[in-house]
Amino acid sequence: MSVLVTGAYGDVGSHVVAGLLSAGVPVRGTSRTPRTGESPDGVEMVRLDLDEPETWPAALDGVKKVFLYAHADRVADFAGAARAAGVEHIVLLSSAAVVDPATRHSRSAVMHSAVEEALRESGIAWTFLRPTTFATKQLHLAPAIRSGEVLRIPFLQAPTASIHERDIADAAVCALTGAGHEGKGYWLTGPQALTQQEHIEVIAAVTGRPIEVVDLAPEDAEPKLPEFFIRIMTELMNNPCVVTPAVEEITGVPARSFRQWAEDHIKDFS
């Protein structure tokens, strides 16, 4: 069985590649711009651009399973090409926006729903991984934290059960190598709901550096926040934050805590 991993340099894709290699599964990685000398041993890297059908045949040749990043344009055509090439199963990195009531009508939900529907109609077995907010979202604060700036953040009390990128990758590897995941969608979350302030407090505890935070009114944010974003965040604050056991159900191991993520990324904040 050979597995094609799209976005093999990405936060999730790189860990999917590593997990498959550890399981002894042949891997072909893809990128729009493969980089010479930056691939793990045993990984064939090829160019794949979902906007360029001429790049598909070489990437799909001999592949039985695909880990696919959501891409609304041409997904139906790509799925057709994959089926013609003999692909039997596609594991899609979708989004919890599709199933979360607060975000179900967002642009993200519409895009991911369209990709999911195209794969349902493709005739290929599918599995949808629907992660909530990536813990890596906190990395946008890293430059300010390193320089000791005061953080001015709107919706500081908004809760999320942010998820470690390695948990998403572990779930993908299990879905690609195990049985019984076809035709299923998994809402993946971290093990605990934390407010944005609590996320920052964890980072401060791990780095051993105090971080001053100010709860900024949404209307005072610069650049100006879009109305749809304010609406979604307000709804998220007014609804319970969903925490699911899906990571442990798929992998047999509890989801990593946000503290574990912060420890894994301590160099980014120090």
DSSP string computed for 151-214: EEEESTT-EE--B-HHHHHHHHHHHHHSSS-TTEEEEE--SS-EEHHHHHHHHHHHHT----EE
Q: What percent of the chain has pLDDT over 90?
A: 87
pLDDT on residue 187? 98
pLDDT on residue 34? 86
Please give the DSSP secondary-structure letter assigned to residue 135.
G
pLDDT on residue 208? 96
The lowest-confidence range among 37-46, 146-155, 257-266 is 37-46
Nearest to 202 by CA among 143, 159, 257, 268: 257
pLDDT on residue 214? 96
pLDDT on residue 248? 98
In this predicted model, what pLDDT tens digit does every residue of 164-197 receive, in sequence order? 999 999 999 999 999 999 999 999 999 999 999 9
Torsion sign over Cα 115, 24, 81, 37: positive
DSSP string computed for 56-106: HHHHHTT--EEEEE---TTHHHHHHHHHHTT--EEEEE--GGGT-TTTTTS
Using an 8 Å Cβ cutoff, are 43 and 17 in contact?
Answer: yes
Judged against a pLDDT cut of 90, whether residue 14 lies above it is answered with: yes
48 vs 34 pLDDT, higher one: 48
Judged against a pLDDT cut of 90, whether residue 216 lies above it is answered with: yes
pLDDT on residue 238? 85
In this predicted model, what pLDDT tens digit does every residue of 130-160 receive, in sequence order? 999 999 999 999 999 999 999 999 999 999 9
Q: Where residue 102 falls among pLDDT bands split at 50, 70, 90? A: confident
The lowest-confidence range among 12-16, 40-44, 50-54 is 40-44
Domains (range + CATH), the chain: 2-133+164-189+242-255 (3.40.50.720)
Q: Where residue 35 falls among pLDDT bands split at 50, 70, 90? A: confident
| CA–CA separation, 54 and 42 (whole Å) | 25
Judged against a pLDDT cut of 80, whether residue 95 lies above it is answered with: yes
pLDDT on residue 220? 93
Q: What integer is the mean pLDDT of 217-238?
A: 90
Judged against a pLDDT cut of 90, whether residue 235 lies above it is answered with: no
104-142 CB burial, b ≥16 within 10 A, e <16: eebebbebbbebbebbeebebebbbbbbbbbbbebeebe
Region of residue 62 (left: phi > 0; alpha: psi -120 to 50; beta: else): left
* Burial class of residue 228, CB neighbours in 10 A (0-12, 13-18, 19+): exposed
pLDDT on residue 105? 86
Please tell me whether the overall predicted TM-score, pTM, comes out greater than 0.85 for this model: yes
172 vs 222 pLDDT, higher one: 172
